[in-house]
Amino acid sequence: TPSSIRKIVVLGGGITGLSAAYYARKAADQQGIPVEITLIESSNRLGGKIHSVQTDGFLIEKGPDSFLARKQPIIDLTHDLGMNEQLVPTNPKAGSAYILHKKKLHQMPMGLVLGIPTKISPFIRTGLISPLGKARAILDMVLPARKADEDEALGDFIERRLGREVLEQMTEPLLAGIYAGDTRSLSLLSTFPQFRQMEKKHHSLIIGMARGMLRRPAGHKTIQQKNGTHAGATSPMSSTSSPVEPAAPRKSKSMFLSYQYGLSAMIRRLQEQLTMDQVQFRMEESVTQIAASDSSTLSKRGKDGSSSTEHTSRYTLTLSSGEHMNADSIICTIPAYAAAELLGDIPEIQQLNRIHYVSVANIALGYKHHQLQHEFEGTGFLVPRKENRMITACTWSSTKWKHTAPSGQTLLRTYIGRAGAEEWTSLSNEELVQAVRRDLRDLIGFDAEPDLVEISRCYRSMPQYPVGHGELMDRVRASLAAHLPDVWLCGAGYGGIGIPDCVQHGREAAEELISRWAV
């Protein structure tokens, strides 16, 4: 009967929300549970941070441009959606990236993994670190491990193991590229928990990394909404969370992958599939209130002893349009500050406001002329905080990703903004372009007039997990479970910002809620 159909509402149409809807439908169908799924997105576009545009033959990613190839959740989803053929690797001939140091670009030493040196001789030869700094870093191999289990700041940890120079010149520019964060305030355990494990197991980060310990810790915890569940113990696009498993058919050994027609191809494919699966999309709508409905599930036993279930939905939602909607379960994938506002009455929920979101921007510059008279070596460069530049990094996109520009044409992508450096938000588009062009001129002597400029302002887009984030999320989830059962929080703001982690979290929430209905 219609009344036995369970209603799931997904808040947010980014990759987490879309994955949640996809896997909820799949799990419900597999278990024969009738569900009605509605996805509510406040903007006029699905994809959230993922946003690819095609202009004049260039493919420009306004948000993320790729994902880590070794992370199984996105590989599985790609496979499930029949998109394997669209996977593209980085250009194997592109070389490595450079790091700016005292106005000079230095090639990243071979063996640098997540900003941690793993090969001694290239590290000894690099001009990025002084002899004293190198000696300090190598001390990591003899310094004892810290016994305590508490969280600490990622930057403090790196400095403790490898010294300040490696932190500032190597690790922070690389890791900050992922979080746009200040490593001195980011949680170690919620960003790179494997670093702590390596310290424990090998005393040394260098040895641990060198032994290829990039594996998920045993007994990895999920994001389930249970007391004591440590949601933060997953990592971003970088790190531990998935073991190195054989992936679905892959085109190369590239560390990163993208799609031929941009990451938005995945969003379009998900939208198409979900539409076929009867998922309802409510665009340019949001939820303003969640209220418990009067009664919850009633079980009826017929005279013949057969059991049938009828229920009224657990929650009544008020939408921004004023309309009301019922829900038995809500998967909330919106940013932490938006969730704090929506769920404000729940004790502990204001803690979500401790997750600060940094605003970043990127400016893509396209050059159509075939003779640019400039050699771009490697894949681009990173700019450490200390160098005091407007740009935090620059990628030669058309060298790194062949599919992003027509042959012979050039696409650069410059990045702006990080924790503690968000003044760019008050600049006009013209000022931003002037500023990045000034940096390119100063740093690499490149001053050609671009034929195409695409500015992407990503306000409050990079969540910063504070020290103690794991416990914070445990408290929030425990409170939610007590006060709003069957409301799930997942997505970039809560545990793992990389696209594969978002897919995984959406999937885990969806499968967990369906499995509860199956019993």
Between 41 and 439, CB nearer to ligand FAD: 41
- When asked if residue 64 is in the footprint of ligand FAD (CB under 6 A), the reply is yes
Between 41 and 387, CB nearer to ligand FAD: 41
- When asked if residue 174 is in the footprint of ligand FAD (CB under 6 A), the reply is no
The answer to whether the beta carbons of residues 436 and 360 sit under 8 Å apart is no
The answer to whether the beta carbons of residues 355 and 463 sit under 8 Å apart is yes
Residue 461 phi, psi (nearest 5): -110, -15
Burial of 91 (0-12, 13-18, 19+ CB in 10 A): middle
CA distance 279 to 272: 10
User: Judged by CB under 6 A, which stretch of 40-48, 134-142, 296-304, 323-331 contacts ligand FAD?
Assistant: 40-48
Between 13 and 468, CB nearer to ligand FAD: 13
The answer to whether the beta carbons of residues 184 and 241 sit under 8 Å apart is no
Tokens 């006009």: give the residue: 428
Between 28 and 270, CB nearer to ligand FAD: 270
CA distance 51 to 377: 27
Closest residue by Cα to residue 344 from 285, 286, 290, 284: 290
- When asked if residue 155 is in the footprint of ligand FAD (CB under 6 A), the reply is no
Least distance to ligand FAD, CB of residue 142, Å: 35
Between 49 and 269, CB nearer to ligand FAD: 49
- When asked if residue 66 is in the footprint of ligand FAD (CB under 6 A), the reply is yes
- When asked if residue 491 is in the footprint of ligand FAD (CB under 6 A), the reply is yes
- Report the side by side order of strands in the sheet with 324-327: 287-292, 315-319, 324-327
Between 15 and 153, CB nearer to ligand FAD: 15
Least distance to ligand FAD, CB of residue 278, Å: 20
Q: Are strands 487-489 and 329-332 parallel, antiparallel or unpaired?
A: parallel
CA distance 343 to 212: 42
- When asked if residue 63 is in the footprint of ligand FAD (CB under 6 A), the reply is yes
Least distance to ligand FAD, CB of residue 255, Å: 12
Between 112 and 492, CB nearer to ligand FAD: 492
234, 240, 333, 392: which one binds ligand FAD (CB under 6 A): 333
4, 30, 43, 515: which one binds ligand FAD (CB under 6 A): 43
- When asked if residue 50 is in the footprint of ligand FAD (CB under 6 A), the reply is yes
The answer to whether the beta carbons of residues 382 and 177 sit under 8 Å apart is yes
Q: What is the DSSP letter of 445?
A: -
- When asked if residue 502 is in the footprint of ligand FAD (CB under 6 A), the reply is yes
42, 224, 254, 316: which one binds ligand FAD (CB under 6 A): 42
- When asked if residue 165 is in the footprint of ligand FAD (CB under 6 A), the reply is no
Write the interaction track for ligand FAD spanning residues 12-31; mark x where CB under 6 A is met and - where it is not. xxxxxx--------------
- The alpha helices in 343-466, defined as continuous H runs, are 397-400, 429-444
Least distance to ligand FAD, CB of residue 303, Å: 45
Write the interaction track for ligand FAD spanning residues 344-383; mark x where CB under 6 A is met and - where it is not. ----------------x-x---------------------
**∠ CA 169-171-176, rounded to 5°:** 105
Between 48 and 208, CB nearer to ligand FAD: 48
Half-sphere exposure for 18 (CA within 13 Å, toward CB): 25
The answer to whether the beta carbons of residues 23 and 513 sit under 8 Å apart is no
The answer to whether the beta carbons of residues 81 and 265 sit under 8 Å apart is no
C-beta neighbour count of 276 within 10 angstroms: 9
The answer to whether the beta carbons of residues 314 and 329 sit under 8 Å apart is yes
CA distance 402 to 69: 17
Least distance to ligand FAD, CB of residue 359, Å: 9
Least distance to ligand FAD, CB of residue 134, Å: 30
CA distance 37 to 27: 12
Write the interaction track for ligand FAD spanning residues 235-274; mark x where CB under 6 A is met and - where it is not. --x-------------------------------------
Between 74 and 167, CB nearer to ligand FAD: 74
What is the token pair recorded at 47? 């994809």
Between 50 and 279, CB nearer to ligand FAD: 50
Task: Tell me which residues touch ligand FAD (CB under 6 A).
Answer: 11-17, 40-43, 48-50, 63-67, 237, 286, 333-335, 338, 360, 362, 458, 461-462, 491-492, 497-499, 502
